[in-house]
Amino acid sequence: MRASLAISVIFGCLLAEPQSNRADVTALVRRFESAYRGSRTLRAAFLERYLDNGKEVRSEAGIAYFSRPGKMRWEYSSPEVNLYVVDGKWAWFYVPADHTVTRMRAKESSDARTPLALLAGEMKVSRICKSVEADSTSRANDPRGVVLRCNLRGSEESVRPVPTRGSSQSSYALFELNPATGELLRVLVADPGGVQVEFRFTNWEFGPAVEEAKFHFQAPKGVAIVDGELAGAGDASNQKQAR
């Protein structure tokens, strides 16, 4: 009798643990959504790292701005100045040193920053994630952080994932959140080819005064506008001189 009772308790615990984990994940996602949904504008300092099979190949830093509906501005200041703007319709990437700006429709972009557009949208994680689960295999960068794995929706759905280099596996993103506040600490976007882009955020400001002009790009005179994918534009036949 005692043995049967012990077995029942063990199985009860095993069944309850996944349900508890799911409840914790759901509560944290809601806290994350709630923390950012109430602000029309956002600003934060960021560090962006590019990794290939776990090895860092480049890092950049700057200030990111977000504004509803669907607008972003990433001002890179280190190691060189460049600018990435999403105005709600177009995504622009401007490298002053190259005298070139790459433009493509925002909805067609597979840029690694695309999942972060949710901060300037409806702030519904389900818009970009097929599913969200706790990721016990990834170490949090911040001692306060909890890591969640977002399995990104496919290109046939409303939000495009990062490029998959022909792999049939799914792209995913890791969201590191502060469980006490719902604050976003880090995002790592990965594709099955081993390429990862990580964004670390600090100094979040909710509802800062940000000029609307920051979310519109006007190409300087003489700068070539290249239509195409942000990651690989460069076809000279598509270049047009800005007037």
Number of domains, the chain: 1
Is the pLDDT reported for residue 107 higher than 90?
A: no
Contact 27, 146 (CB under 8 A): no
Q: Please indicate, yes or no, if residue 13 is contained in any of the structural domains.
A: no
**Assigned domain for 8 exists:** no
Flag whether 104 is in a domain.
yes
On whether residue 6 sits in a domain, the answer given is: no
Q: Is residue 5 part of a domain?
A: no
Residue-wise pLDDT tens digits, 88-97: 889 999 999 9
Answer yes or no: is 4 within a domain.
no
Structure confidence by residue, pLDDT tens digits, 148-171: 999 888 634 433 434 433 333 568
Structure tokens at 231: 């990651």
The CA-based dihedral angle spanning residues 129, 133, 139, 145, taken in that order and rounded to the nearest 10 degrees: 80
Share above pLDDT 70 across residues of the chain, in percent, rounded to a whole number = 77
Q: Is 237 within a domain?
A: yes
Instruction: Give 36's pLDDT tier (boundaries 50, 70, 90).
Output: very high
The CATH number of the domain where 87 resides is what?
2.50.20.10
14, part of any domain: no
Averaged over 218-238, what is the pLDDT?
Answer: 64
The answer to whether the CB of 172 falls within 8 A of the CB of 131 is no
Helix/strand number for the chain, H first, E second: 1, 13
Model pTM score: 0.78
The domain in which residue 180 lies consists of 21-241
Angle at 134 (CA atoms; ends 143, 182), nearest 5 degrees: 55
Summarised one tens digit per residue, pLDDT across range 61-96 is 999 999 998 899 999 999 999 999 999 889 999 999
Give CB contacts under 8 A, 24+ apart, made by 181-185.
181/31, 181/35, 182/28, 182/31, 182/32, 182/33, 182/34, 182/35, 182/36, 183/35, 184/32, 184/36, 184/119, 185/140, 185/141, 185/142, 185/144, 185/145
